[in-house]
Amino acid sequence: MNKQVPSILIIYTGGTIGMVQKEGGALNPVKFDQILDEVPELNRLGYHLESLTFNPPIDSSDMTPKKWTKLAKIIHANYSRFDGFVVLHGTDTMAYTASALSYMLENLDKPVVLTGSQLPIGILRTDGKENLITSIEIAAAKQNGMPVVPEVSIYFDFKLMRGNRTKKRHADHFSAFNSTNYPLLAKAGVDIKYFYENIFYSGKKGILNVNSAFDENVVVLKIFPGISKAVFESVINIPGLRGIVLEAYGAGNVPTAPWFTRLIKKAARLRILIVTVTQCEGGAVKMGHYQTSKELLNSGVISGKDMTTEAAVTKLMFLLGQGLSEDDIKLYMNKSMSGEISE
């Protein structure tokens, strides 16, 4: 392999970008070689491109921590051979996978760009071609011999976003993702404009390490008007439950009913960790800012600050899987590990 030529590994997990439409309108995944046939423009980049495909390719709704581990291990096994990695992924769980990878890939100093499409790459009006071509360019980009974006990111509809700050915002639009609480890493127009001040450069010179243990005994509970004591109590009583990501109103507000506070304290006695995030698209939880969140703070509930639900649930699963003490988990949940939280 010519080291002067950028080398990129494309990992195809599945998703709409690699689907073809069969008779009757159903979408089915194809081999990645067929995707390359649909994008002959890739040959004009002049890069060394290789691909690996999940066997079988999966719909992203079937993504699991075990498959995150498989993906992270593929990156780890090929890390020394490639300048960057592009992961083709379904949109539904892309933000979860990007968040999980950002915690798993310790000492990452190369680009890992996740992308996909809203329309299959073989359809005339597909957004998949541009997403794929530009993702590869970003993964290959270097300045002074160093990668320009050495972190886990999502590229979609001309925008490069930090992976663990991104949420899927629309099921139909080409602009499917948004990063409300953190600015863009890059924007593609005639040229790709990088916002270097927003990119995470760790400065660490360590060997890439994959931490793959996750504890899946976690639940997301969204607060809504009329949530009942029976529902909340049944969640707390789930056998083996270790963590709850509580989607609260606004800046972290919850019902003030006495039963709600009692159940929060019961969860604490059962050693169930509760992390609260806002159910708003943007903004942050400010524990104790309003009276309705003071009881949460006093009961040991962890503030998720401005983390997305996707970043919070994957982080909680990850930390619970690392064998840490309860105090250490609380410490790390409040601390930025890979840019997922504003400090």
Q: Which residues are catalytic?
A: 16
Cross-strand partners of 249: 253
The helix/strand/coil state of 184 is coil
Question: Alpha helix locations (H) across the chain?
Answer: 32-38, 65-77, 94-104, 128-140, 229-236, 258-269, 291-298, 309-320, 326-333
Q: CB-based contacts of 216: which residues, under 8 Å, 6+ apart?
A: 65, 317
Q: What is the DSSP string of 21-68?
A: EPTTS-EEE--HHHHHHH-GGGGGG--EEEEEE-SS---GGG--HHHH
φ, ψ at 184 (rounded to 5°): -65, 150
The helix/strand/coil state of 153 is strand
If phi > 0 it is left, if psi is from -120 to 50 it is alpha, else beta; for residue 199 that is beta
Question: Are residues 324 and 317 in contact, defined by beta-carbon separation less than 8 angstroms?
Answer: no
